[in-house]
Amino acid sequence: MSLATATRDKAPEESVAARVRSTLEAVFDAVSATRADTTALLARVAATGRRPATVDLAALRPGLHGRLARDALVSGVGFVAAPGLLSDVPAWLEWWQTGSDGDVRPLLLDLDPEHSAYADYTHWDWFALPRDTGERAVAGPYVDYLCSDEYSLTLSAPVLVEGRFAGVAAADVYLRHFEAAVMPMLRRLPGPARLVNARGRVAASTDPRHLVGSLSKGPDFGRVLATGRPTQADGGIRLMPCDGVPLVLVSTGQE
C-alpha cells in the first residue's frame, strides 16, 4: 500500500531520470572494475621497484574481454595511460573493442607524433575531465574519430597510483545503443522529451524538433546538474537532473 502511494507521488520524469541513471551506472561498473584492476596491477609493479611497461598491461585483458561480453551497451573498454607512465612507449591505450561481427579486437593506434596528427590524446574530454577534476566523467555525445569512428558517449574515471594521476579507465557506449536503451523510457512520458548533457547537447530525444547531436539553448543545464534539483524553465519546460550522471531530462508535459 505504502509502495503504491510512493509510486503515485513520484513524477514520471523522476522515475525516467532514475532509470537513465541506472543504465549508465551499469557502464560505470565496467569503468570501476577496470580502474580497480589497473590500480592493483600498477601497485604490484611499483612494489617490485620498476616502471610499468606495455607487457604488464596484458594482465588486464581477461577482465576487459569479460566486460565487453557482459554488457551489451559497452562497445569499447580499457585503460589509457598518461604519457610518460610506461617505460617502453611514450603513450599507450590498452583498449579493446567489439567489432561489427562480434569479435573482440585490440585498438592499434599510431601514437608516434612524427607519423600521426592524432598521437596526442590528452585533450579529449574523456581524458582531460577525470585528470583535471579527479572525478568520474561522461564525455559526449561526440564523434570518436580516434578509436571507433562512431557517435559515442565515453564514461571514464581517473586511475591513481600513490596519489598520482596515471591515466584513465574508460568505456565507450555508441549513441545508437544508448538510444535503444533509453527510448522506451522516454516514450512513456506524456509529451516530447530529450536528454541533454551539461552543455545542452542532445543525447536522446523523442522530440523531432530537437534531434540527437543538436544543441538546446536557453536554460543553464550545468547549473541544474550542479544543484541536483528539478527546475521549471520558460515555456512550461521541466528540467530533471539524472542525479549522479551528467544528463538532464528535458520534458514539455502533455502536447
- Closest to another protein by CB, 76 vs 200, is 200
Is 150 among the residues that bind another protein (CB under 8 A)?
yes
Task: List strand residue ranges (DSSP E) for the chain, in order.
Answer: 76-81, 93-98, 104-106, 137-144, 150-161, 164-174, 193-197, 202-205, 231-233, 237-241, 247-251
- Closest to another protein by CB, 139 vs 239, is 139
Q: How far is the CB of 145 from another protein (least distance, A)?
A: 5
90 close to 177: Cβ distance less than 8 angstroms: no
Position among 12, 63, 83, 213 found at the interface with another protein (CB under 8 A): 213
- Closest to another protein by CB, 199 vs 229, is 199
Query: How do strand 164-174 and strand 93-98 relate by DSSP bridges?
Result: unpaired
The full length of the chain comes to 255
Instruction: Tell me how far CA of residue 233 lies from CA of 143, 192, 198, in angstroms.
Output: 30, 15, 15
- Closest to another protein by CB, 50 vs 118, is 118
Position among 2, 7, 145, 163 found at the interface with another protein (CB under 8 A): 145
Position among 52, 141, 158, 246 found at the interface with another protein (CB under 8 A): 141
Binding site for another protein (CB under 8 A): 110, 114-118, 123, 141-143, 145, 149-151, 199-201, 213-215
